[in-house]
Amino acid sequence: MYAHSIPSEVNLPPSPPFSVHNSYSHNSATADEVAKGVFIGPLTIFKDSSYLDSHPNIRLLISLTDKSLSPALFTHKYSNSLVHKCLSYDPSVEICKVSQLYNICKTISLCMAAAGGSISCLIFCEDGNRVSALVAVCYLIYSRGWSVGESLNTVKEHRRSVEFTEEDVKVLVTFWDICIATKRVESSGRSYNKQARDREEEDEYDYEIVSRKRVR
């Protein structure tokens, strides 16, 4: 794997291990745009439709909550909407696993690309902090190629209630390593394909030259 250090300005207060039901006294009751087109927030957003009505550009909704906690408004209105795309992931199935995070980020990226980058995404969890923030940081790493430190600090800067544990950062570093390794493999594959196309074009050119000489 590729070594990557976290900047010293990333403050990691001691926290309990990852838990779906962690709560914080400083929770924000609404969502925040932590990067252009990327919002994170709590379940309370769905107490009514006012927030999404006032943010019509938010079309992709990512639920990171236990199905038993999924708001009725989300389940019955937005999940069946022709306007909104809704995806649900259950944190109790170890959503902090790197493979799951990678799949979520890939899906979000594909959905955003399919819309031509013209929509925004709301990632929400029970308290609107740790789980949704973890996914948001991973998405910035995955989609924008940002470093762990830059992505993490950007999210923390725009949503002050977010706190990350040392275990979270280890997950993020591993995620970053995988993204870098994957991009190198993909880049190598593209380079190989380009070389193959170039050889084919050279062969076609040589064949054309030989054919012309024969005609003469």
Report the distance separating Cα 28 and Cα 161, nearest Å.
7
Report the distance separating Cα 152 and Cα 75, nearest Å.
30
Contacts 24+ apart (CB under 8 A), 91-99: 91/20, 91/64, 91/65, 91/66, 91/125, 91/131, 92/20, 92/66, 95/64, 95/131, 95/135, 96/18, 96/131, 96/134, 96/168, 96/171, 98/171, 98/174, 98/175, 98/178
Domains of the chain: 32-190 (3.90.190.10)
pLDDT in tens, the chain (216 residues): 333 444 444 443 333 333 333 333 344 678 999 999 999 999 999 999 999 999 999 999 999 988 788 888 888 899 888 899 999 887 776 565 888 899 999 999 999 999 988 999 999 999 999 899 999 999 999 999 999 999 999 999 999 999 899 999 999 999 999 999 998 888 776 555 555 565 665 555 555 555 565 555
pLDDT score recorded for residue 20:
31
CB 169 within 8 A of CB 148: yes
From residue 205, how far is each of 100, 121, 143, 164 by CA, in Å? 47, 49, 39, 58
Residue with tokens 């924000």: 28
70 φ, ψ (degrees, to nearest 5): -60, 125
- Cα–chain-centroid distance for residue 58? 15
Q: Specify the DSSP class assigned to residue 65.
A: S
Report the distance separating Cα 77 and Cα 52, nearest Å.
12
Residue with tokens 């649900």: 88
pLDDT score recorded for residue 187:
79
pTM surpassing 0.75?
Answer: no
Given the DSSP bridges, would you call strands 38-42 and 58-63 parallel, antiparallel or unpaired? unpaired
Cα Rg for the chain, rounded, in angstroms? 22
pLDDT score recorded for residue 117:
83
